[in-house]
Amino acid sequence: MRPEVRAEYERALGRIAGDTAFATRLERFFTELRNPLVAVYGADERFPAQWDALLAAVAEAAAARAPALRALDHEREITPDWLQREQAVGYVTYVDRFAGTLDGVRERLPYLRELGVGYLHLMPLLRARPQPNDGGYAVADYDAVEPALGTMDDLRVLAAELRAGGMALCVDVVLNHTAREHAWAQAALAGDERMLRFYRTFPDRSAPDAYEATLPDVFPDTAPGSFTWVPEVGRWVWTTFNPYQWDLDYSDPEVFVAMARVMLGLANAGVDVLRLDAVPFLWKRAGTDCQNEPEVHELLQAFRALVRIAAPAVALKAEAIVSPRDLVGYLGAGRHEGKECDLAYHNVLMVLLWSSLASGRVALMTHTLRAMPPVPPGAGWITYVRCHDDIGWAITEEDAGAVGLDGYLHRRFLADWYAGDFPGSFARGARFQPDPRTGEARTSGMAASLAGLEAARADGDEAAVELAIRRVLLLHAIAFAHGGLPLVYMGDELGLPNDPAWDADPAQRDDNRWIHRPHMDWEAAARRHDPNSVEGRLWEGLRRLVAARRATRAVHAQGRSEAVWTGNDHVFGLYREHAGERLLVLANFTAEPQPVRAAVAAERAVGPAEPEPAPDGRPLRAQGDFLVLAPYQHAWLRG
Ligand code: OTU
């Protein structure tokens, strides 16, 4: 450290004298915190005061950390792969829709334990503006829980109970924007100049027009444009998402420090994983799409370092729904390696799974995954089949072209297929935010409905029901084996269909993502032990996957992961290797039996023995030189 930097470090250290663990972490991560902030704010005269405030906040948070959390800090420092292990399986749900309140969630924990869940992501639960509030993503107060769900104390109690049972808690930090009802925005509306500078605002259309020339529309249908005229301040406010979600201006160092305080507060309430919402949008630059700018990665590195100093048990998860090439950067690429987020959503895998299921072909998935850089050391993916948002068909022209497809036409095919508009489609989803200019659309729908279960049940077609169940399990099997922390979204474990009453609430009517955010159906859950019911078959299928993961060290997120050409365009191959174990998962993406040369397995010295019982529930058939997969079968061959 340079002498003047050392002086800053020693001042921070002095604030929490006697805590040797803190001193070690502060020294270790001091420049990892400082350098990116200097890179972004170094020339800003406001920076020195904010830097001092940040160090004070870090020291204060570290000093206030409860003994149980300090113990966890230590435990995770010596188990840095705690989110990457074969035991890790996550579950995602809305508090109100699952169990009414935070206390209600505590009562439902046995259900989650039975499924094998070790990580619980509760959807936005901080106090939001009144409806509409984008499912809680328009936060009015980061220091309070939404009153209908409980209090900050309830959150602390829940976190402690989860911790005692070995379950990690993930909570959203909506850091790109606040609700216009947040105190900062309210002060700005009342004429506070300093608070107005927390947001990006413009006196006239010249800058907004210039930005919009290269800005894509996130909600082209319901919230076109990225700026909202706010008469109270006589300015255009940057609103990437809805008009009531005001983008914060991270070029103001005080905004960074304010959000750092929010994160440290949640960490000390006992939250284990912070889901950083919409991170690609944090930095804006004229002439670009204002996503994935280099400054975003500097800011994320700084957030990571400050959490590591004050609360090392806590991990950061990036929500960056971007193209394959941009995605890996959020896990820390290049000079940010090992210094950025611990986890990032693998939206590319999600898209490819549904693409393969619609087409019955796996070449695009195999090629795209092979072309992606491996996860940087120490980081891991979040793997999932669907989420609370839409599926945006992020398939590039380049990847499509490499396997002889036209990217645009394939994206349109997928939107048509999953809306149920393509002849022969089994899906019952909906178009989300169709873009009239391009004809493209994203897709909403529950996994079961997209996979054909809703249509099959409506037709009373038992054979089709069986195929649909198999499809849901097939996609989860890849998510469970791929490498990363797999998430199950509430309802998919029971095959819950689209919510038929999703548009009953006028505040939600123009956002059909509510189709796949139903209330938990506890009557359906009660059928989960009936092996003949749909719920029972899905529940058992997922439990077999949890068991197969636990029994297979090769699924570790740090292990080697390679998409394999199987010689059959209908069968996906995924090879994993870790700690001396090998695993080849073969997955048939069609409703017909599909052969694969046994040599594909033999070359990798795996199989034919599967873990018992077979994760798919059906044994793998051998026929001469071939392994023959049953319709939508997934086979786990180990060596
Ligand atoms: C996120 O999604 C949340 O997951 C959404 O539920 C919110 O509406 C939104 O932020 C605003 O808070 O555009 O269509 O690259 O794609 O952040 C969903 C990231 C979104 C964005 C993602 C965003």
Per-residue pLDDT tens digits for 145-177:
999 999 999 999 999 999 999 999 999 999 999
Query: Are 571 and 586 contacting, i.e. CB atoms less than 8 angstroms apart?
Result: yes
Give CA separation, 461 vs 465, 510, 552, 591, 616, in Å: 6, 33, 36, 15, 22
Q: Percentages helix, strand, coil for the chain, rounded to the nearest 5?
A: 45, 15, 40
- pTM of the predicted model as reported, rounded to 2 decimal places: 0.97
Nearest CA to ligand 1 atom 7: 137
pLDDT for 123: 98
Q: Which of 32, 319, 390, 454 is catalytic?
A: 319
Distance of CA 430 from the midpoint of ligand 1 (Å):
18
Out of 241, 275, 433, 444, mutate this one to test ligand 1's pocket (max ligand atoms within 8 Å of CB): namely 241
Per-residue pLDDT tens digits for 253-274:
999 999 999 999 999 999 999 9
Say yes or no to pLDDT of 4 above 90.
no
Nearest CA to ligand 1 atom 4: 389
Maximal C-alpha separation, the chain: 79
User: In this structure, what token pair is assigned to residue 560?
Assistant: 């080697």
Cα–Cα dist 102/275, whole Å: 18
Average pLDDT over the chain, rounded to an integer: 96
pLDDT for 613: 81
pLDDT for 15: 87
Out of 277, 325, 350, 511, mutate this one to test ligand 1's pocket (max ligand atoms within 8 Å of CB): namely 277
Nearest CA to ligand 1 atom 23: 278
Q: Which of 154, 247, 249, 277 is catalytic?
A: 277
Query: Are 489 and 385 contacting, i.e. CB atoms less than 8 angstroms apart?
Result: yes
Rg (CA), the chain: 24
**Shortest-distance atom of ligand 1 to CA 392:** 14
Distance of CA 474 from the midpoint of ligand 1 (Å):
26
**CATH topology match: 177-247 vs 560-638:** no
Say yes or no to pLDDT of 610 above 80.
no
DSSP string, 12-39: HHHTTTT-HHHHHHHHHHHHHHHHHHHH
Instruction: Report how far Cα 469 is from the mean position of its chain's Cα atoms.
Output: 24
Mean pLDDT of the 105-121 span: 98
Among the listed ranges 6-20, 55-69, 446-460, 524-538, which one has the minimum average pLDDT value?
6-20
Q: Hey, which of 12-21, 245-254, 607-616 has the most confident mean pLDDT? A: 245-254
Query: Are 498 and 515 contacting, i.e. CB atoms less than 8 angstroms apart?
Result: yes
Distance of CA 279 from the midpoint of ligand 1 (Å):
9
pLDDT band at 541 (very low <50, low <70, confident <90, very high): very high
**Shortest-distance atom of ligand 1 to CA 390:** 14
- 277 carries an active-site annotation: yes
CATH architecture of 177-247: Alpha-Beta Complex (3.90)
pLDDT for 611: 72
Phi, psi (degrees; rounded to nearest 5) at 91: -140, 140
Say yes or no to pLDDT of 612 above 80.
no
Q: Comparing C-alpha atoms, which of 76, 89, 91, 83 is closest to residue 375?
A: 83
- CATH topology classification for 560-638: Immunoglobulin-like (2.60.40)
pLDDT for 72: 98
**Shortest-distance atom of ligand 1 to CA 241:** 11
Give me the residue spans of the domains in the chain: 177-247, 560-638
Mean pLDDT of the 105-113 span: 98
pLDDT for 595: 98
pLDDT for 635: 97
Say yes or no to pLDDT of 471 above 90.
yes
pLDDT band at 436 (very low <50, low <70, confident <90, very high): confident
Distance of CA 71 from the midpoint of ligand 1 (Å):
34
pLDDT for 61: 97
Distance of CA 265 from the midpoint of ligand 1 (Å):
23
Per-residue pLDDT tens digits for 308-340:
999 999 999 999 999 888 999 999 999 999 999
pLDDT for 225: 92
Per-residue pLDDT tens digits for 173-201:
999 999 999 999 999 999 999 999 999 99
- 603 carries an active-site annotation: no
Per-residue pLDDT tens digits for 204-262:
999 999 999 999 888 888 888 999 999 999 999 999 999 999 999 999 999 999 999 99
Nearest CA to ligand 1 atom 17: 278
Say yes or no to pLDDT of 372 above 90.
yes
**Shortest-distance atom of ligand 1 to CA 138:** 12
pLDDT band at 17 (very low <50, low <70, confident <90, very high): confident
Nearest CA to ligand 1 atom 22: 278
Per-residue pLDDT tens digits for 473-488:
999 999 999 999 999 9
Nearest CA to ligand 1 atom 1: 278
Per-residue pLDDT tens digits for 36-76:
999 999 999 999 999 999 999 999 999 999 999 999 999 99
Burial 275-306 (b: 16+ CB within 10 A, else e): bbbbbbbbbbeeeeebbbbebbbbbbbbbbbb
Cα–Cα dist 242/139, whole Å: 13
Mean pLDDT of the 266-292 span: 98
Query: Are 491 and 521 contacting, i.e. CB atoms less than 8 angstroms apart?
Result: yes
Query: Are 588 and 632 contacting, i.e. CB atoms less than 8 angstroms apart?
Result: yes
DSSP string, 271-298: --EEEETTGGGSS--TTS-SSS-HHHHH
Distance of CA 278 from the midpoint of ligand 1 (Å):
5
Stretch (H or E) spanning 631:
none
Task: Check residue 508 and report its DSSP letter.
Answer: G
pLDDT for 325: 85
pLDDT for 80: 95
Say yes or no to pLDDT of 609 above 80.
no
Q: Which residues line ligand 1 (CB under 6 A)?
A: 134-135, 137, 174, 218, 241, 277-278, 280, 319-322, 389-390
Distance of CA 212 from the midpoint of ligand 1 (Å):
19
Please report where in the chains the tokens 């490499």 appear, as a residue.
Answer: 402
Distance of CA 103 from the midpoint of ligand 1 (Å):
27
Say yes or no to pLDDT of 561 above 90.
yes
Say yes or no to pLDDT of 1 above 90.
no
How many Cβ atoms sit within 10 Å of the Cβ of residue 408? Answer: 14
Of residues 3 and 592, which shows the higher confidence score? Answer: 592
pLDDT band at 380 (very low <50, low <70, confident <90, very high): very high
Cα–Cα dist 4/525, whole Å: 61
DSSP string, 225-263: SSEEEETTTTEEEE-SSSTTEEEB-TTSHHHHHHHHHHH
Q: Comparing C-alpha atoms, which of 100, 250, 254, 244 is closest to residue 175?
A: 250
